[in-house]
Structure 1
Amino acid sequence: MASTLEMREERKKLNQAAKQASEIANKENRALDLSIQVVEDGYVVEKRVDGSRQIIKKIDRIKSKIKLKKGIVLCLEPKG
């Protein structure tokens, strides 16, 4: 089983790779004059190459049925 430190490092590398992939995709979309969709202030927004924006959809927040307390330990591994 991987240690907590190893898992943290792995998660950090995965986040960096995702960020880099997003930046590359955004640059490619701009070069091809394609719009991108992002989440801003609770809305899905389409950003166009000319700088204009269009709100696509409002994101409804869903209240969790699970009550979490400060200091609770979460298990992120599948059962079995």
Structure 2
Amino acid sequence: MINKSKYSNLISNNITYIICLQTLFVLNTSIYTSLIIFLYHRHLPFGFLSDKYENINYEKKYLFSVSNIRFIILRF
């Protein structure tokens, strides 16, 4: 005879494990995006510390920021 409570327990444990993994993944991605924004906001043309890049024109600043963010995302 199959013990149903054992299998239902296993299934519920697996579901909670999957939900925990999904929440951890979402938290990690949000932490990484906030880190990217925090560390590289000075390269963005609308950043707080973009004053040092005022002599570079807008297009170069924008390309610089996009390439940096793409590089960081590829590293993770």
TM-score under structure 2 normalisation?
0.42
Q: Which is higher, the Rg of structure 1 or of structure 2?
A: 2
Q: Which structure has greater helix proportion?
A: 2
Greater strand share, 1 or 2?
Answer: 1
**What TM-score, normalized to structure 1?**
0.40
